[in-house]
């Protein structure tokens, strides 16, 4: 192998490594972009439906869908905003107390002691402090998530306004011989993500409503906020349902183990 060939291959490896490191550092941006693409798919689907049913132009249909979404969210916040805020405060206050009760039960149980013995440094005071710190940082995480959501919505509006332009821009990065296959792949991915998004919205609404009603019938405090948290967390595949059960369980423990 000549020195020029070796240098060229070494540069290619270094460029790939640099791109991988850059993508790792830009994980948040990639997740944000993926969220914007999902919102774009939802906006485009709703826009096509409205334009097909009413016969109006696509731009007007997109503006109508966006304004309708804002009105629905604004009305929900106006009606339930104060209740949600008050109940979320109750959850933040009750969760550390519920975790402390859980740890006390674990330390008083023979099997619980064996489980805690397997965890290095596990003790009730330290674990309770960890739970308190986790709950206290939840507010910052929610604020950050809301900021990301606003950015994703803005990007999604730009993408939904002219989706063909951005799709063609992506296709220009693909070699000419593979563009037809890539364009077909884009269409299939869009259809799959659209159906997944619809199904996920149905699951989130079902879980949120049934969780809120179930906790309310059981007499658990902050049932509405816990149901909302359960529905939103179910957007996360597999782990979301487990995460949704944790705050509800901790709040319920403060009212008794049964």
The SS3 call for residue 21 is helix
What residue has token string 């096509």? 48
* Predicted local distance difference test score (pLDDT) of residue 181: 93
Residues in the chain: 258
Q: What is the pLDDT of residues 140-197, one digit of tens each?
A: 566 677 778 888 888 888 888 888 888 888 888 888 889 999 999 988 998 898 898 8
Helix, strand and coil percent figures for the chain, each rounded to 5 = 90, 0, 10
Res 138: pLDDT = 53
Q: Is the pTM higher than 0.85? A: no
Q: How far apart (Å, rounded) are the C-alpha atoms in residues 207 and 132?
A: 27
Handedness of CA 164, 165, 167, 172 (dihedral sign): positive
pLDDT digits (tens, 9 = 90+) for 97-139: 777 777 777 777 766 666 666 665 544 445 555 555 555 555 5
Helix or strand holding residue 258 (H, E): none
Average pLDDT of the chain to the nearest whole number: 79
Domain range list for the chain: 27-253
What residues have CB less than 8 Å from 226, skipping those under 6 apart? 87, 91, 211, 212, 215, 220, 247, 248, 251
- From the CB of residue 199, how many other CB atoms can be counted at a distance below 10 Å? 10
For the ranges 31-35, 65-69, 237-241, the lowest mean pLDDT is seen at 237-241
Which one has a higher pLDDT value, 87 or 198?
Answer: 198
What the block records as the tokens of 105 is 């039960």
């Amino acid at each position: 192998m000549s020195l020029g060939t070796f240098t060229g291959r070494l540069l290619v490896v270094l460029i790939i490594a640099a791109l991988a490191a850059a993508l790792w550092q830009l994980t948040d941006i990639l997740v944000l972009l993926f969220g914007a693409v999902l919102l774009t798919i939802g906006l485009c689907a709703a826009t096509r439906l409205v334009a097909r049913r009413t016969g109006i132009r696509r731009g007007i249909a997109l503006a109508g869908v966006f304004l309708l979404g804002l009105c629905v969210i604004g009305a929900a916040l106006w009606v339930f905003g104060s209740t949600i805020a008050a109940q979320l405060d109750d959850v933040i206050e009750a969760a550390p107390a519920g975790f402390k009760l859980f740890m006390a039960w674990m330390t008083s149980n023979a099997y619980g002691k064996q489980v805690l013995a397997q965890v290095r440094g596990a003790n009730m005071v330290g674990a309770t402090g960890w739970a308190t710190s986790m709950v206290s940082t939840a507010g910052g995480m929610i604020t950050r998530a809301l900021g990301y959501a606003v950015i994703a919505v803005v990007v999604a509006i730009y993408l939904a306004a002219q989706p063909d332009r951005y799709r063609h821009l992506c296709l220009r990065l693909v070699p000419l011989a593979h563009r037809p296959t890539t364009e077909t792949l884009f269409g299939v991915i869009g259809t799959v993500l659209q159906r997944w998004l619809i199904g996920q919205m149905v699951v989130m609404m079902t879980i949120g409503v049934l969780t809120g009603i179930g906790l309310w019938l059981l007499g658990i405090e902050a049932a509405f906020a816990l149901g909302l948290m359960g529905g939103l967390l179910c957007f996360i595949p597999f782990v979301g349902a487990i995460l949704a059960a944790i705050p509800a369980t901790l709040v319920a423990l403060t009212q008794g183990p049964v």
